[in-house]
């Protein structure tokens, strides 16, 4: 009886790596460490593994597929941008393959490697920090076309579509100051997980300094934390003598959780504490009271980034390494009112 042919899975197990890594070695990928490549090649020889002739022949054809890597599958802002990516890709006959990293920097390279093993021709992605990203450095070395969304690279020139995070948050902070707020606390997703969060905080600091108001210590929270976690994060800050009259949150999903935490603590929004978000997800407008936020038009971000990427791929042209800023919009809601004590009548920002 003839012995069964070795599979790629058996090679990966014997070499102590992933099937994606084996595939990259077979197809000549440059992102493999020399020692690991040697181990995989020796294992292939030892087991007598032979890649499918049909599968290898497909390498000579264009896959017309792109990858999309996002930090979270649960945050609606990323779902909206993926919708934009899909609309453009489908219109031009391209397929989109999706992966998520859960805001973990060490998962970004793995996600890229997995998608590249599926013969994608380019990437739309969001990383934790575009100026210090081993994943993006590898893409640059391998000359894989990509466009960032949401990220705002400041040090290394890289193609990105985003809003001006600092400027938009500065303008939002100025609206709070106009309503009499001086004790404004910024609640941010971990800066180590999001350059967007850090840039928005910088905009808040600039506005507070310009108004001659003292910035309160930032509250950094985990993106995947629960409302109960946020309640504990807020409890001590809200019982202090200089408790905030407003909480600015670095994204809408966080703002929604913070509002729920405030209610658990017995605070009314916006009568006792105003709350603002950032993103413009549809869910924020469905709340009661409706969330005051910055709408960064996430679907448009996805549309524009994909048009840019596909234009380069279809013309076999390099993608300019620059930032394309799109307009943001202030979306008034009912979670922002005058600072307590400024006016008896709760006034909504316009």
Same domain, yes or no, for 78 and 188?
Answer: no
Q: Establish if 2 belongs to a structural domain.
A: no
Same domain, yes or no, for 153 and 169?
Answer: no
Same domain, yes or no, for 75 and 47?
Answer: no
Same domain, yes or no, for 138 and 246?
Answer: no
Same domain, yes or no, for 175 and 290?
Answer: yes
Q: Establish if 342 belongs to a structural domain.
A: no
The answer to whether residues 270 and 346 touch, using CB atoms and an 8 Å cutoff, is yes
Q: CA separation (Å) from 195 to 37, 149, 189?
A: 33, 12, 10
Rounded Cα distance, 105 and 146, in Å? 17
The answer to whether residues 145 and 316 touch, using CB atoms and an 8 Å cutoff, is no
Same domain, yes or no, for 288 and 302?
Answer: no
Same domain, yes or no, for 40 and 113?
Answer: no
pLDDT in tens, 163-204: 999 999 999 999 999 999 999 999 999 999 999 999 999 999
Same domain, yes or no, for 97 and 79?
Answer: yes
The answer to whether residues 258 and 252 touch, using CB atoms and an 8 Å cutoff, is no
Please choose, from the candidates 223, 151, 161, the residue with its C-alpha nearest in 3D space to the C-alpha of residue 190.
223
Please choose, from the candidates 333, 311, 324, 284, the residue with its C-alpha nearest in 3D space to the C-alpha of residue 94.
311
Q: Establish if 315 belongs to a structural domain.
A: yes
Q: How many CA atoms lie within 13 A of 136 on its CB side?
A: 22
pLDDT in tens, 225-241: 888 988 988 887 887 76
Strand residues in 118-242 grouped as ranges (E): 123-125, 146-149, 160-162, 184-189, 219-221
pTM over 0.85: no
Same domain, yes or no, for 270 and 174?
Answer: yes
Q: What pLDDT does residue 107 have?
A: 95
Structural domain that includes position 158:
62-163+297-319
Q: Establish if 32 belongs to a structural domain.
A: yes
Same domain, yes or no, for 179 and 259?
Answer: yes
């Amino acid at each position: 009886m003839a012995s069964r042919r070795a599979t790629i899975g058996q090679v990966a197990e014997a070499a102590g790596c992933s099937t994606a890594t084996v595939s990259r070695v077979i197809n000549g990928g440059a992102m493999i460490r020399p020692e690991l490549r040697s181990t995989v090649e020796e294992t292939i020889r030892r087991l007598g593994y032979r890649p499918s002739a049909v599968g290898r022949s497909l390498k000579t054809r264009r896959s017309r597929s792109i990858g999309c890597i996002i930090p979270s599958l649960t945050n609606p802002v990323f779902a909206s941008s993926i919708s934009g990516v899909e609309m453009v890709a489908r219109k031009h006959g391209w397929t989109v393959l999706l992966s998520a990293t859960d805001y973990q920097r060490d998962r970004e390279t793995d996600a890229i490697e997995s998608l590249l093993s599926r013969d994608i021709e380019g990437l739309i992605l969001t990383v934790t920090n575009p100026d210090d990203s081993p994943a993006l450095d590898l893409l640059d070395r391998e000359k894989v076309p990509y466009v960032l969304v949401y990220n705002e690279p400041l040090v290394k020139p890289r193609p990105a579509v985003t809003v001006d995070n600092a400027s938009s948050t500065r303008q939002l902070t100025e609206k709070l100051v106009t309503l009499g707020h001086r004790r404004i606390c910024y609640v941010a997703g971990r800066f180590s997980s999001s350059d967007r969060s850090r840039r928005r905080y910088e905009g808040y600091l600039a506005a507070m300094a310009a108004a001659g108001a003292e910035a309160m210590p930032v509250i950094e929270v985990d993106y995947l934390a629960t409302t109960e976690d946020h309640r504990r994060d807020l409890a001590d800050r809200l019982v202090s003598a200089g408790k905030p009259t407003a909480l600015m949150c670095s994204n809408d999903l966080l703002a929604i959780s913070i509002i729920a935490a405030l209610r658990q603590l017995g605070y009314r929004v916006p009568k006792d504490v105003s709350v603002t978000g950032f993103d413009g997800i549809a869910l924020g407008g469905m709340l009661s009271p409706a969330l005051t936020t910055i709408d960064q038009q996430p679907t448009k971000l996805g549309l524009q980034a994909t048009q840019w990427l596909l234009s380069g791929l279809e013309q076999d042209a390099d993608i300019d390494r620059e930032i394309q800023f799109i307009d943001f919009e202030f979306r008034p809601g009912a979670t922002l009112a005058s600072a307590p004590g400024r006016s008896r009548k709760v006034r909504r920002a316009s």
